[in-house]
């Protein structure tokens, strides 16, 4: 058995978690969480960590050259490099509204890349 200590980042409380893994590295249990979300976070973090990804996308014909974007759900950390390659290759035409979907279901994760601000057209 192995114990991994971590701090939960799901909410501002920041519970100190102790995660127990078996000899094969599989999740066994978690202690220290004050809510069920802490257990879910701990399980994901030791088996397949996920993150919300933030970045920016080029805007054509906009008052600003870039629009900030983020994934609307967490994606596996192991896919961040591939996700960034897709985001880097994207260009959107102004106007862009906050919440516009820039990339739908990126890498079949169920997460969309969405605009986090509005960029008006330069016309």
- pLDDT tens, position by position, 83-107: 999 999 999 999 999 999 999 999 9
Specify the pTM.
0.82
What pLDDT is recorded for position 25? 87
Q: What is the mean pLDDT of residues 76-81?
A: 97
Q: 65: closest CA among 40, 93, 86, 26? A: 93
In whole angstroms, how large is the CA radius of gyration of the chain?
18
């Amino acid at each position: 058995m192995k114990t991994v200590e971590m701090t939960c980042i799901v909410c501002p409380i920041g519970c100190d978690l102790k995660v127990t893994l078996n000899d094969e590295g599989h999740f066994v249990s978690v202690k220290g969480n004050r809510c069920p979300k802490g257990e879910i976070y701990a399980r994901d973090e030791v088996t397949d960590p996920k993150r919300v990804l933030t970045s920016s996308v080029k805007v054509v014909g906009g008052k600003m050259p870039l629009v900030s974007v983020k994934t609307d759900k967490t994606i596996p950390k192991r896919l961040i490099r591939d996700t960034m390659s897709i985001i880097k290759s994207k260009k959107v035409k102004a106007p862009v509204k906050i919440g516009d979907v820039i990339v739908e279901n990126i890498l079949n994760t169920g997460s969309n890349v969405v605009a986090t601000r509005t960029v008006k057209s330069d016309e």
